Structure 1
Amino acid sequence: MKFEARLFLYGVMFFIPVGLIYAFWSGGEPVGTVGIPLVGGLVGMIGGYLALLARRIDARPEDDELGEIEQGAGNQGVFSPWSWWPLVIGLAAAVAFLAMAVGWWLMVPAVALGAIGLVGWVFEFSRGQHAH
């Protein structure tokens, strides 16, 4: 987690000065002048959270400067390589973005399709009463 925290906290050192430079060069254009430093603040909050989290958990193999590749070997999680549900959620996102261009009425089927895809993806490996 230390690497991720540093990565985000370095973003603060980029976005805040860039926001100030942008404010100076643009003559105080309101959207970028406020937005770019706010991005720095958001990145700082994420980096701060990851730094706090890194202190509470044990060091991972990628946190070791002298670590070897084989230290990270093993089970990395459960993945479903043949799942069709991400495609359904992607289609719902595409329809939602299309709704912003064509008409807001199209958002209703996009949300419904997204809810169906999300429930299907969450319960894909479910066994028991809600299995499908």
Structure 2
Amino acid sequence: MKAEAYLFAGVAGFFLATGVGYGWWSGREPAGTAALTVAFIMSSLICFFFAHNHHRRGARPEDRRHAHIADRAGPVDFFPARSPYPALTGFGAAVTAVGLVFGLWLFILGLGVLCAGVGGMAFQYVHRGE
């Protein structure tokens, strides 16, 4: 995760430099300055996440120059075979978006379906390790 942290640190530095430069030369125009500030904050958060994971877990085999393919062998993670919740979440997001156009009642209905789908995905395998 060290290379990814450096990559996003560079992206954050770019957005910081362009945001400061844009704010200075544009006469403090608020829309572009705000957009570049938000982009800097988001890329800084991603950089912090990668740096924190590298510090907590250590180097991965991909981070070492002389690692072998067999160093990464073994199970990667748990992937469920099939689940109805991603389709339910997508349907809920679509109905929520259409509800923004056609009315509050459809928006609330879609929001309920969306929350049910997200909650189902989050808690579907909550007792898997027990």
- The alignment's TM-score, normalised by the length of structure 2, stands at 0.76
Q: 1:123 to 1:48 in 2, by over 3 A?
A: closer
| Superimposed CA distance per residue, residues 104-132 of structure 1 (whole angstroms, 9 cap, x where no aligned partner) | 332211121122223333443467xxxxx
How far apart in 1 are the matches of 2:14 and 2:90?
Answer: 32
The offset of 1:20, in angstroms, is 3.5
How far apart in 2 are the matches of 1:61 and 1:29?
Answer: 46
How far apart in 2 are the matches of 1:14 and 1:46?
Answer: 14
Q: Does 1:104 align with 2:104?
A: yes
2:65: which partner in 1? 65
- The alignment's TM-score, normalised by the length of structure 1, stands at 0.75
2:78: which partner in 1? 78
Q: 1:21 to 1:75 in 2, by over 3 A?
A: same
How far apart in 1 are the matches of 2:32 and 2:106?
Answer: 31
User: Which stretch shifts more, 35-44 or 16-25?
Assistant: 16-25
| Superimposed CA distance per residue, residues 65-115 of structure 1 (whole angstroms, 9 cap, x where no aligned partner) | 333333222211111242221111111112222223333332211121122
Identity over the aligned pairs, expressed in percent?
32
RMSD: 2.5
How far apart in 1 are the matches of 2:65 and 2:119?
Answer: 41
Letter in 1 for 2:66: L
Moved segments of 4+, more than 6 Å? none
The count of residues paired between Structure 1 and Structure 2 equals 127
Q: 1:20 to 1:112 in 2, by over 3 A?
A: same
Structure 2: runs of 5 or more not aligned:
none
How far apart in 2 are the matches of 1:29 and 1:121?
Answer: 42
How far apart in 1 are the matches of 2:74 and 2:85?
Answer: 26
The offset of 1:24, in angstroms, is 5.4
1:121: which partner in 2? 121
Structure 1: runs of 5 or more not aligned:
128-132
2:46: which partner in 1? 46
